[in-house]
A and B are shown apart, each in its own frame.
Chain A
Amino acid sequence: MTASKTKALMQITDLEVSIGERKLISDLNLTIRGGESWALLGKNGAGKTTLLHTLARLRPWQGGGIELQGKPIDRLDRREVALSVGLLFQEGLSLVTNTVLESAMLGRYPHQHAWLWDDQADVEIAKAALAEFKLLDLAERRIDTLSGGELQRLALARLLAQSPALFLLDEPSNHLDIAHQLTGLLALRSRVTQDQATMMMATHDINLASRICDHVLLLKEDGAYEAGAAVQVLTENNLASAYDCEIRRIDSDAGVFFTPVISNPTSERMT
């Protein structure tokens, strides 16, 4: 594997994250390298969003450390963090009335220095990002006229325009139809990994995770976790203990699928 030779993009050491009294993550040790794609799985309230926000330095953590490209992330300037780490929010875009292109241009904010004028290069990057998500035709439309799926693709395009080294995606498949989920996210993955960047996406969709990501971080009860190559982490046993529900693996000619077994009376149906 070349992965072990690549320098660590993010090094997480003994990380502990709690909200109030509740410990969500404890003793998390993880090395994230360039070119990898991670799925972040776990049941509702397991701490997926909180972990992503912590890695983007949006909230403090309770112990351990996070190093970004060899430097402690809490010692970096916010702008330096934003140059390397980008976050797609679960809530999607705020509907402040910009045009689609203006909204995508906001992703260039950490790169821009001039007071007033937009560098043509930045505009081109934003347009290329829109084209990647098939939004270029809508560039001059106001964003409050977009559909939910178009808004989600715009949020992804803005993140692509930001061009960080680490893409943190919170439920990127929200509002996307089943075809866009797969094609959109596969396109994003290939764009991300071809530049030796990395993505980590939190999702409820185990099947989407297994088709898009090569690594999985599976959060379990009480701060425990499994992390590693997708094939090793995505086992019936691991998933059952994480989701508190029996989950069966189905091999088909279209790929591997996981489905909860609902005959178990204690199981909670995932939607």
Chain B
Amino acid sequence: MIAFRQILLIGALVLLTICAALFSLLSGSVEVTLADLFSLQSATQSELAQQIIFDIRLPRTAAAFVVGGLLSLAGVIMQVLLRNPLADPYILGVSGGAAVGALSAILLGASSFWLGQGAFLGALFSILLVFFIANGLGHWSVIRLLLTGVVVSAGWGAVINLLLTTSTENTVQSMLFWLMGDLSQSRVSPIHWALLLAGLSGGLYLSRTLNVLVQGDQQALALGVNVTALRLMLYFAASVLTASAVIIAGSVGFVGLVIPHMLRMLGARDHRLLIPSAMLLGGSFLIVADSLARTLIAPQQLPVGVVTALIGVPTFIVILRKSISREA
């Protein structure tokens, strides 16, 4: 039931996103005021401010929004697909595959372009590997998919550790930054925006069906949902969204796990509401986290994944305790 209350939530989240973006544009080592920001086009005396905002902070803010949005959407889909509230976008090994690809590229001393390509190939390989193992053994079931994903993920973890221990100190530093998620080198292209938009509109298109699917496979079948085809579609959609986020910024943790839960607690259980709100809250959360990552101990920058985890872990514990006490 889309009612006034729901429209209010979306409106509040749009406002939050705008505030987060302004906060991000204004915070940093060089002071820029709100007045500077709005007089940018005309004023010539603030050319430096203009450069900082448009060339450095704005692309990074955009990247944070896109990555946060992609991860939250993927998180919502993963949690429906696996019928598991603890599922996050990385649970089926997409990020592990991407990391092995990216780390191999770093190890070979490749440029950042090839780093992206390596991550893409690794993610693609992992997506297909999990799909063929889970599907090839017989019929496609949630538990088989989950087990396959977790096992493949563990395999990637071992390869990552192998790469880390056999690398020189210099490369290990950049590898760790990539593994923890880092937006300092991130730039988003129109393709990434298109993927985010496709994720949002595809999610909205399926939102009613997702509401039925969370009632259980049998109930969904009885109401006319082609569950097998839907699960396949959800698997590939979540994987592609996750892979794009990982390619842009590495494995930023906790956004995809925590954001959907926060929204469900706020009452957005209907996917028609949950999907757009997850994109907005995930995007603004990562904008804020990234602003903190580059200002908290400036001039040194933290990987954004550290900040999201530092905010995400306590939030998640609170949510978990609340949901346990409600069930009891």
Binding site for B on A (CB under 8 A): 53, 56-58, 77-83, 86-87, 89, 93-94, 96-99, 101-102, 105-107, 109-110, 112, 115-118, 123, 162
Q: Measured between C-beta atoms, what is the minimum distance from B205 to chain A in Å?
A: 6
Whether A110 pairs with B1 at a CB distance below 8 angstroms is: no
Whether B215 pairs with A93 at a CB distance below 8 angstroms is: yes
Among residues of B, the one whose C-beta sits closest to the C-beta of A155 is B219
Q: How far is the CA of A56 from the CA of B219 in the complex (A)?
A: 11
Q: Other than A78-B224, A98-B270, A106-B212, give 6 A-B pairs with Cβ distance below 8 A.
A: A77-B224, A83-B224, A89-B218, A94-B216, A97-B269, A110-B224
Whether B214 pairs with A96 at a CB distance below 8 angstroms is: yes
**Across the interface, which residues of A come within 8 angstroms of B224, CB to CB?**
77-83, 109-110
Whether B1 pairs with A102 at a CB distance below 8 angstroms is: yes
Among residues of A, the one whose C-beta sits closest to the C-beta of B222 is A87
With contact pairs A94-B216, A106-B211, A118-B2 given, residues A86 and B222 touching in the complex (Cβ less than 8 Å) = yes
**Across the interface, which residues of A come within 8 angstroms of B209, CB to CB?**
109
**Across the interface, which residues of A come within 8 angstroms of B172, CB to CB?**
none
Q: How far is the CA of A106 from the CA of B207 in the complex (A)?
A: 12
Q: How far is the CA of A99 from the CA of B270 in the complex (A)?
A: 10
From B207, B219, B221, give the contact of A115 (CB < 8 A). Answer: B207
With contact pairs A101-B1, A115-B204 given, residues A82 and B270 touching in the complex (Cβ less than 8 Å) = no
Q: Measured between C-beta atoms, what is the minimum distance from A166 to chain B in Å?
A: 12
Whether B215 pairs with A116 at a CB distance below 8 angstroms is: no
CB of B223 within 8 Å of the partner chain: yes
With contact pairs A97-B269, A101-B1, A115-B205 given, residues A56 and B215 touching in the complex (Cβ less than 8 Å) = no
The A-contacting residues of B in range 299-324, CB under 8 angstroms, are none
**Across the interface, which residues of A come within 8 angstroms of B226, CB to CB?**
78
Q: How far is the CA of A64 from the CA of B207 in the complex (A)?
A: 37
Q: How far is the CA of A56 from the CA of B218 in the complex (A)?
A: 10
Whether B1 pairs with A109 at a CB distance below 8 angstroms is: no
Q: How far is the CA of A9 from the CA of B270 in the complex (A)?
A: 35
Whether A58 pairs with B221 at a CB distance below 8 angstroms is: yes
CB of B60 within 8 Å of the partner chain: no
CB of B225 within 8 Å of the partner chain: yes
Q: Measured between C-beta atoms, what is the minimum distance from A98 to chain B in Å?
A: 7
**Across the interface, which residues of B come within 8 angstroms of A112, CB to CB?**
208
Interface CB pairs A-B, < 8 A, 21: A57-B221, A58-B221, A81-B224, A82-B224, A87-B222, A89-B219, A97-B269, A98-B269, A99-B1, A101-B1, A105-B1, A106-B211, A106-B212, A109-B208, A109-B223, A110-B224, A115-B204, A115-B205, A115-B208, A116-B2, A116-B272
